[in-house]
């Protein structure tokens, strides 16, 4: 697969959605038990036990999440996906690698947050924010945070550069207890300006950190393979049904339900989609994505330099045109 293929798929992922056939339901079959798979399972088990022994809490968290989520997905299963499904190892690898992935994302996020200058308006608002009562600061911070995350998530689908990285998360064809971990570490850096704004505004660090943790946990729950409708909660809070529609392969559904906690923002900005007589069936992206965590982490970077050069070239051309016709608009 060439870089030009990636660029076209990235830039036109919405326009070409109708040209792609939905995933074959046979993809929900059980992963084959080969000798190579058995060896990998043994090695993964040994690695997990070793990680727990040296204090890697991510592995223990995975086990805890499985113990909590597995009964729900067995008793109220939405899609007939076996526990040992295809691409499960990829999603488990993302979950186990969370400490390293989050560290890499944090380093880049700090740079993005500083360069974004989002902390400047935060500094201007700091006297007002720090003067608010704790309850008002918490409620106001929650609403502003959720509102900004809505737009950050929406831009992750509509801005080609952002979609390069966010597509990794949407590439899974199964939504279940572990699929929410599949995300490129640079996908989360686009939230850095929001965090920089909050920190500069003087919002209590416990509130900012708590909101990020709540968003992460709610996101994991929203990916569960459960058939709960919870219809009274649809316009109130994100539910699995709400987020499953966001992961639906069809173009109309794919560009909807961006909210990560309050569906209010989708309702206000016209992106709310919750059909009463339909349910999401097929998940994934209308473009290419390799298998395996290593290749998926590298994939969004392919062709990025060329796209950056094209953007800079177009910017220079536009700047030269403005210089050659400085009063063209006024003369017209």
Q: Which one, of 246, 77, 79, lies nearest residue 169 by Cα?
A: 246
pLDDT the model gives residue 25: 47
26-70 pLDDT, tens digit each: 455 555 556 665 665 565 556 555 555 555 555 666 777 778 888
186-239 pLDDT, tens digit each: 998 888 998 899 889 988 777 777 777 777 778 778 999 998 888 899 999 999
User: Domain spans of the chain?
Assistant: 21-30+57-324
Q: What is the mean pLDDT of the chain?
A: 81
Q: What CA–CA distance (Å, rounded) separates 272 from 266?
A: 5
């Amino acid at each position: 697969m060439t870089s030009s293929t990636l660029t076209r798929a990235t830039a036109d992922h919405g326009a070409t959605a109708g040209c792609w056939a939905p995933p074959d339901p046979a993809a929900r079959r059980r992963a084959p038990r080969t000798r190579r798979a058995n060896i990998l399972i043994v090695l993964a088990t040994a690695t997990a036990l070793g990680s727990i022994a040296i204090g890697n809490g991510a592995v223990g968290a995975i086990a805890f999440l499985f113990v909590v989520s597995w009964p729900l997905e067995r008793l109220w299963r939405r899609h007939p996906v076996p526990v040992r499904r295809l691409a499960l190892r990829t999603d488990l690898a993302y979950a186990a690698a969370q400490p390293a992935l989050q560290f890499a994302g944090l380093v880049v996020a700090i740079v993005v947050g500083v360069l974004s200058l989002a902390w400047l308006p935060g500094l201007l608002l700091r006297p007002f924010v720090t003067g608010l009562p704790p309850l008002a600061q918490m409620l106001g911070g929650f609403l502003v945070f959720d509102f900004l995350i809505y737009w950050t998530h929406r831009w992750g689908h509509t801005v080609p550069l952002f979609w390069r990285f966010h597509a990794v998360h949407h590439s899974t064809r199964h939504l279940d207890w572990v699929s929410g971990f599949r995300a490129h570490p640079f996908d989360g850096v686009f939230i850095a300006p929001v965090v920089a704004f909050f920190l500069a505004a003087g919002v209590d660090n416990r509130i900012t950190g708590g909101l990020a943790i709540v968003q992460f946990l709610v996101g994991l729950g929203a990916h569960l393979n459960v058939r709960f409708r919870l219809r009274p909660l649809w316009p109130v809070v994100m539910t699995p049904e709400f987020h499953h529609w966001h992961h639906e392969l069809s173009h109309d559904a794919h560009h909807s339900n961006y909210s990560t906690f309050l569906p209010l923002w989708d309702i206000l900005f016209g992106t709310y989609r919750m059909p009463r007589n339909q349910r999401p069936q097929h998940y994934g992206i209308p473009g290419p994505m390799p298998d395996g965590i290593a290749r998926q982490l590298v994939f969004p970077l392919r062709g990025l330099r060329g796209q950056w050069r094209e953007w800079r070239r177009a910017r220079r051309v536009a700047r030269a045109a403005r210089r050659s016709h400085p009063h063209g608009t006024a003369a017209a």
